[in-house]
Structure 1
Amino acid sequence: MRSWPYLFVLLLGTPALADPIVGRASVTDGDTVVIRETRIRLHGIDAPESAQTCKDATGKDYRCGQAAALALADHIGKRVVTCEPRDTDRYGRVVAVCRAESKDLNAWMVREGHAIAYRRYSEEYVNSELTAKSLRHGIWAGTFQDPSDWRREKRAGGEHSRPETLAAPTKASGCNIKGNISAGGERIYHLPGTRDYDRTRVNDRAGERMFCSVDEAKAAGWCAPRS
């Protein structure tokens, strides 16, 4: 005689896997893309944050977070991207393995040294990281701080906090929407008159900027603050 659990599964069926998300992708940062307004965090990898700097082989500082985002955007180009959901993170983003023409983008980012294996959540890309490290690709050519450590220090207000050089809002030009990058790397725009507008400072050296319209901010990958 069949057991009750077996009959329950037989009647209800197994849970359906989430459908793949397919479309042209815009890149938010080195481990986040947007497809048809769905924000997707690349599973199993962690790239330097947008404002994060690393040192190259000569010891010179460079914007490794920005370099990672540009590398991913250039690699994707105009190709259609297919993302297979694995989970949802605490920010509401879909966590997925994404591919362009069947090539694993997550693995490519780690193998080229633009991101590291995010061992806290998966060891799927550890071998790709070892390859990048042995060949001194990307960030492995110089020195860098683990992105999760960098985020933690920035939240705590440590030495890796936002630099002191700040750009004044350009209200005279009419472009008065402030594009800010949060401690967690999220790109958020603030409209005049909203709660955090007056206390938000724009730091162009950290990749922050002013926008002339909401459409312009959204097209660049910024989103509205959570209410």
Structure 2
Amino acid sequence: MRRLAVVAAGALLAGVTAASWGDDAVYAARVTRVFDADTVWVQPAAGGRWRKLRLDGLDAPEICQAMGVAARDALAARLLEQAVTVRERAHDSYGRGLVVIERDGEDMNAWLVRTGWAWASRWRGQGVYVMHEDQARAARRGLWKKDGEPPEAPRDFRRRHGPCEPPWPAPASAVR
């Protein structure tokens, strides 16, 4: 039974990191809120309700984790109130759209990992943004600036501490 759960989890992660973008819902939107470095809210340009989205293919520090606020602020500085293109391929277990966000033709998920503010999702060493994480580590950007011990991976932090409890620091520019 446990082996089946591991295989199912692996298949899910492989789908997250090796998505083909051909059948996705693609729409223009404006980023209205950056909650943390992998969760944003957008307002579709065509109108309708805002949407809560999870950036696909990466994992960023929890907001209450060391470097969580810095990672969130880096993404907010880049995306808040900006017009973007959203490529939504699925929904996660919380109902958030799993997305790649592009601004001016640049993949913001790749940017976040390349600048060192997130880990690339991996399955058996493979992932869409693994090369970008390797570049950030080598250049000591973002999370990788310090010498010595690397930061704790968000999944390990969540296992040890559970979800972050509010209140946490929120700059006026990131939260509306």
TM-score class, shorter:
0.7 to 0.9
Larger radius of gyration: 1
Give unpaired runs (5+ residues) of structure 2. Answer: 1-21, 44-49
Structure 2 counterpart of 1:80, from 80, 83, 89: 83
Change (3 A) 1:88 1:203: closer
- Residue aligning to 1:132: 136
State the secondary structure of the residue aligned to 2:136: helix
What does 1:52-91 align with in structure 2 at a 5 Å threshold? Answer: 52-53=65-66, 64-91=67-94
For each residue in 1:139-180, what CA deviation from the matched residue of structure 2 results, as whole angstroms up to 9, or x when unmatched? 11123100110011112xxxxxxxxxxxxxxxxxxxxxxxxx
**TM-score for both structures, normalised by structure 1:** 0.57
Instruction: Kindly indicate which of the two structures has a greater share of residues assigned to helix.
Output: 2
- Residue aligning to 2:59: 46
Shift of residue 77, structure 1, vs aligned partner: 4.3
- Partner Cα separation in structure 2 for residue 95 and residue 116 of structure 1: 16
Change (3 A) 1:42 1:35: same
Contact 2:25 2:89 in 1 (8 A): no
- Residue aligning to 1:207: 169
Give unpaired runs (5+ residues) of structure 1. Answer: 1-15, 54-63, 156-182, 186-201, 209-218, 222-227
**TM-score for both structures, normalised by structure 2:** 0.73
Tell me the C-alpha RMSD between the 2 structures: 2.3
- Partner Cα separation in structure 2 for residue 22 and residue 31 of structure 1: 19
For each residue in 1:76-123, what CA deviation from the matched residue of structure 2 results, as whole angstroms up to 9, or x when unmatched? 244201110122100000001111111000000000000010114960
- Partner Cα separation in structure 1 for residue 133 and residue 57 of structure 2: 11
Structure 2 counterpart of 1:30, from 37, 41, 48: 37
What does 1:1-227 align with in structure 2 at a 5 Å threshold? Answer: 17-25=23-31, 26-36=33-43, 37-53=50-66, 64-120=67-123, 123-142=127-146, 143-155=150-162, 183=163, 204=167, 206-207=168-169, 220=175
For each residue in 1:34-56, what CA deviation from the matched residue of structure 2 results, as whole angstroms up to 9, or x when unmatched? 11221111110100010001xxx
Paired amino acid for 2:61: P
Change (3 A) 1:18 1:127: closer
The alignment covers a number of residue pairs equal to: 141
State the secondary structure of the residue aligned to 2:23: coil
Contact 1:113 1:132 in 2 (8 A): yes
Contact 1:79 1:101 in 2 (8 A): no
Paired amino acid for 2:28: V
Paired amino acid for 1:34: W
Give 4+ residue runs of structure 1 displaced > 6 Å after superposition.
Answer: none
Paired amino acid for 2:142: G
